[in-house]
Amino acid sequence: MVFENVNFSDMIKQLEQMGFYEVILPFMLVFTIMFALLQKIKLFGQDTKNINIVVAVVIAFFFVRVPAIIATVNQFLPKISIIVIVLLMFLLILGVLGSGESTGWTGWPFFIGMIGAVLGIVWAVVTSVPGISTAWPRWLVITSQDKAILLAVGIFVLLLWVFSDKKTDWDKIVEKAPGQFGFGGGKKK
């Protein structure tokens, strides 16, 4: 294969030794942001792309000249990127739960799904940090006795729900169940 002798970790270390992260990336970032801002606000008038490029390059060179600012940016941006990734995962979970244009979960199932999504994201972020224990708290560990109790309570609640309305039969209950729980479906009256 072409890449069998290539070690990407060594390539990253070589880029770091050459100053890629301290000079090139901050320069490109500041240049791009400044150029975009100057193009948007049209500070020097219409059709002044050349002037905007020169001003953005000068500002980017001044920015790269100060090591303290570069160190701050190198510490700040990875943290921001983690926050952006966490927010994107949250939006992905929202999309899975159907909060977009499609008719997805509504009511209590959506609320419970959101709580589960937030707890899952918090757990994923916290357990990804080195040095933090990844074990569940003792009160969250479900034993076989807890499972039996939850099953009994679930059956009891289901029976109460089924037999609470004396005028309905099983077919009507099954027919209206999806709409009652917010999953869509069910026949409208």
pLDDT, position 33: 94
The 10 Å Cβ neighbour count of residue 15 is 13
Read off the pTM: 0.49
The 10 Å Cβ neighbour count of residue 134 is 9
Q: Which residue has the higher pLDDT, 52 or 177?
A: 52
Per-residue pLDDT of 62-91, as tens digits, reads 999 998 888 888 888 887 887 778 778 877
Pair of tokens at residue 9:
């970790």
Domain assignments of the chain as residue spans, ordered by start: 1-65, 79-138, 142-189
Pair of tokens at residue 58:
């000068």
C-alpha triplet 81, 133, 119: angle, nearest 5°? 60
* Residue 34: half-sphere exposure toward Cβ, Cα within 13 Å: 19
Please say if the pLDDT value at position 43 is more than 50.
yes
**Cβ–Cβ < 8 Å for 110, 97:** yes
Please say if the pLDDT value at position 168 is more than 70.
no
Per-residue pLDDT of 59-69, as tens digits, reads 999 999 998 88
- The set of residues, in sequence order, having a beta carbon less than 8 Å from that of 35 and lying 6+ positions away, is 52, 53, 56
Per-residue pLDDT of 101-158, as tens digits, reads 555 566 777 777 778 777 777 776 676 666 666 666 677 777 888 888 989 998 988 8
Please say if the pLDDT value at position 186 is more than 50.
no
